[in-house]
């Protein structure tokens, strides 16, 4: 499935960020060289060795029959994703990462005694002044994968709506416009569906057999469009909310990102561990995301190439660069 196109910033914006950071800090900003290789547009096939049924291809016992060691051949799960593009594989990984992060946040919240009760939903509330509105908004994610959006906290309406692509006669909005064609969880509501008949002011597009809604507000403004069901996620933090167009460039200098730990320890990340390609056009995005529950997660992209050492007796964790 093609991924939703992220908002792009020109390379000059990255350089401006670098210059601003250099001006604000007494230390010169460290930079690294990033190989700007985009994702391949070609579809990948499962390796031919996966098709063989030979047990020796799966595991091999040690030559010494008395030994208790068994050697297993490790196969990446992407090898089983036949006829998938690199962008589709990335979308699958992000979906799995989102679920793992939710489980870790929930477990950390339970351990800290901050588990949410009653099936409630917690999401940040922000002022709409930056959007030219006196109302309050909450950040949500719409669809799968999630597109970030700001939703007005309007308790007087029973229909939640947003602008969708392709958008006709729509107002100019800040942020990305939701594209239902790129969401795996979007579901159109048919004209004969019970949900459609519950609308106060509904209609039907007979050509598409699609349910239509219309809401009129007290100030005379009107919104109308397709009525559908979709997955909403609280928080609405987009993993790829900061992206750059590096098309046509082979090598780019980028600021070094480091993890700082208590006691002064520091681990500098290679550029490919935080600025990754997301399509075949040369779009690169920062691979960072927020979490709920007050827990910080060092993701698998950041851990690439590091050997992680666990010192159980000393209650310490070590990160050894270029250890893999």
Q: Are residues 164 and 199 in the same domain?
A: yes
Which one of 234, 257, 273 terminates a domain?
A: 234
> Could you tell me which residues are beta bridge partners of residue 27?
none
Range with the poorest average pLDDT among 1-5, 64-68, 98-102, 151-155 = 1-5
CA–CA distance, 310 with 314 (Å, rounded to integer): 9
For 274-304, letters b (16+ CB in 10 Å) and e give bbbbbbeebbbbbbbbebbbebeeebebbee
The domain that holds 153 is classified in CATH as 2.40.70.10
pLDDT digits (tens, 9 = 90+) for 75-100: 888 877 778 888 888 888 888 887 88
Residues 302 and 250 occupy one common structural domain: yes
Residue 242 sits in the same domain as residue 293: yes
Residue pLDDT, tens place only, 22-62: 444 456 788 999 999 999 998 876 555 555 555 554 444 44
CA angle 180, 183, 186 (to 5 degrees): 65
Report the SS3 class of residue 276. strand
- Mean pLDDT in the chain? 78
Mean pLDDT score, 299-316: 89
Question: Total domain count for the chain?
Answer: 2
CB atoms near residue 231 (< 10 Å) = 14
CA 265 vs CA 49, 298, 319: distances in Å: 44, 15, 10
Among 57-71, 207-221, 260-274, name the one with the lowest average pLDDT.
Answer: 57-71
Q: How confident is the model at residue 323 (pLDDT cuts 50, 70, 90)?
A: low
Reading the block at residue 255, the tokens are: 């600021």
Q: Is residue 7 part of a domain?
A: yes
Beta-sheet pairing, 243-245 with 8-9 = parallel
pLDDT score, position 47: 58
> Do residues 255 and 176 both lie within one domain?
no
Q: d(Cα 170, Cα 179) in Å, to the nearest integer? A: 14
Residue 74 domain-assigned (yes or no): no
- Residue 78, domain member (yes or no): no
In a shared domain, residues 322 and 247:
yes
Alpha-carbon distance 228 to 244, whole Å? 32
Q: Report the distance separating Cα 224 and Cα 190, nearest Å.
A: 16
Domain boundary, last residue among 213, 234, 255: 234
What is the pTM for the complete model shown? 0.56
222 and 245 in a single domain? The answer is: no
Please provide the distance, in angstroms rounded to a whole number, between the alpha carbons at the two ends of the chain. 31
- Binning pLDDT at 50, 70 and 90, where does residue 19 land? very low
């Amino acid at each position: 499935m093609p991924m939703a196109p992220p908002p792009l910033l020109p390379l000059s914006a990255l350089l401006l960020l670098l210059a601003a950071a250099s001006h604000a800090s007494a230390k010169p900003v460290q930079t690294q060289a990033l190989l700007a290789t985009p994702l391949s547009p070609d579809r990948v096939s499962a390796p031919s060795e996966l098709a063989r049924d030979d047990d020796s291809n799966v595991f091999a016992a040690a030559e010494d029959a008395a030994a208790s060691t068994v050697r297993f051949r490790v196969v990446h799960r992407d090898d089983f994703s036949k006829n998938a593009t690199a962008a589709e594989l990335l979308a699958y990984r992000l979906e799995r990462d989102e679920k793992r992060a939710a489980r870790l946040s929930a477990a950390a919240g339970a351990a800290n005694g901050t588990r949410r009760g009653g099936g409630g939903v917690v999401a940040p509330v922000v002022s709409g002044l930056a959007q030219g509105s006196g109302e309050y908004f909450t950040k949500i994610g719409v669809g799968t994968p999630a597109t970030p959006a700001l939703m007005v906290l309007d308790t007087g309406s029973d229909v939640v709506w947003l602008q969708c692509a392709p958008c006709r006669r729509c107002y100019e909005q800040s942020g990305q416009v939701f594209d239902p064609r790129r969401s795996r969880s979007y579901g159109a509501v048919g004209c004969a569906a019970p949900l459609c008949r519950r609308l106060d002011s509904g209609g039907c597009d007979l050509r598409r057999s699609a349910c239509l809604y219309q809401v009129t507000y007290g100030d005379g403004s009107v919104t109308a469009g397709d009525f559908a069901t979709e997955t909403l996620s609280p928080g609405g933090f987009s993993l790829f909310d900061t992206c750059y167009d590096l098309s046509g460039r082979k090598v780019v200098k980028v600021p070094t990102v480091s993890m700082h730990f208590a006691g002064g320890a520091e681990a500098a990340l290679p550029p490919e561990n935080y600025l990754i390609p997301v399509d075949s056009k040369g779009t690169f995005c920062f691979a960072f995301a927020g979490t709920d529950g007050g827990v910080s997660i060092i993701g698998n992209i950041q851990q690439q190439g590091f050997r992680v050492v666990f010192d159980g007796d000393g209650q310490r964790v070590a990160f050894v660069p270029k250890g893999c």
